[in-house]
Structure 1
C-alpha cells in the first residue's frame, strides 16, 4: 500500500492550499476509515481535550463524532505555513439528534512527514449554538464543497 499523500513538504502557498482542500474534502465525506488514511499510522492528535494516537483511535473517535454531529459540513482555510507545517482555521455546521444546530469554530496546527502524511494534529474548537435559519454552509452532502461555494473569509466568518 502506498503510504504517501501528495503534495509533499516543504509547502508552497499553492500546495498548502491544495493540502487543506484535500483534508476538507475527505473530512466532509464523514468516512472515518478514509479520513484516517491521510494520517501517519502513528499520528498523534489533541482534539479539544481528547488525546488520540494512531489510525485505529482516529477511526473510533471520528465514528463517535459523526454519530453525534449530524449533517456535518466543514470549511477550512489557510492561516499560515512553513516547511512541513500548516496552520488552518475552520468552521463546521452540524445538528444533534434533537435538531439543535451548531457552528463549531477552530484552529488546527498540522505537521507532516516527508511522504505527506500528517503526523500531528492539534485542534482547538468552540461550539456556538445557531438557529437553522443562520446556517451558512449549503451544499449537497453527497459530495465535497463545490468550488463556487463561498469560503470562510467570503462568508465573513
Structure 2
C-alpha cells in the first residue's frame, strides 16, 4: 500500500481530480520514454498552469542558477521564461533511467524580443514520487546564439510532430 499520497490535482484534459500521473515508477525503458515525451509535449504547450500539474505540490527545482520550490513558484518561473523565450520549441530525449529517476538531454530554440535566436542545450535529472509526480528537477543549460537560418525546429507552435527528427537524428 502506498503512503504519503499527494493532494489531488485537476486533470488538464478532463478537469477531474487525479492523484497519479502515469506512467508510474519504477520505470521501464518504454515507460521512461513515454514520460519524457509527455514532458516535452507539456513544455511545448507553453501553458505554465498545465505544466505545473505534473510536479508534486512541494517539487523542488534547480534551473540554471535559480531554485524553484512548489507549484506556485513553478507557474511564476514558467510564466517569466515563456514571456522572454519567444516561439519556444523543445525536443527532449531519454538519456538514462533507474527506479524512480530519469535523466534526459534536451535542446530548445527560441528568440528574444529583439529577434535574436538561441539554441539552448541541457541535461535534466528527474526524481518522481510513487504517484508519478516529479518531486525533484535539476537542469543545467547552455545557450548558443544561432541565426534564424540556422534554426532546425520549424513545426507549428505546440506539440512536435511525430515525424520530426529527434536530437540524435539532428546530430545534437
The one of 89, 92, 100 aligned to 1:76? 92
Structure 2 residue runs without a partner (length 5+): 1-16
- The DSSP-based 3-state class of the residue aligned with 2:135 is strand
- The DSSP-based 3-state class of the residue aligned with 1:34 is helix
Partner residue, 1:131: 147
Partner residue, 1:146: 161
- TM-score, length-scaled by structure 1: 0.98
Partner residue, 1:62: 78
Partner residue, 1:51: 67
CA-CA distance at 1:3 after TM superposition: 2.2
Q: Distance in 2 between matches of 1:107 and 1:62?
A: 18
Structure 1 residue runs without a partner (length 5+): none
Give the root-mean-square deviation of aligned CA atoms: 0.5
Within-5 A mapping of 1:4-43: 4-43=20-59
CA-CA distance at 1:4 after TM superposition: 1.1
- TM-score, length-scaled by structure 2: 0.90
Q: 4+ residue runs of structure 1 moved beyond 2 angstroms?
A: none
CA-CA distance at 1:138 after TM superposition: 1.3
Aligned length: 156
Larger Rg: 2
Deviations 1:44-91 (A, max 9, x none): 000000000000000000000000000000000010000000000000
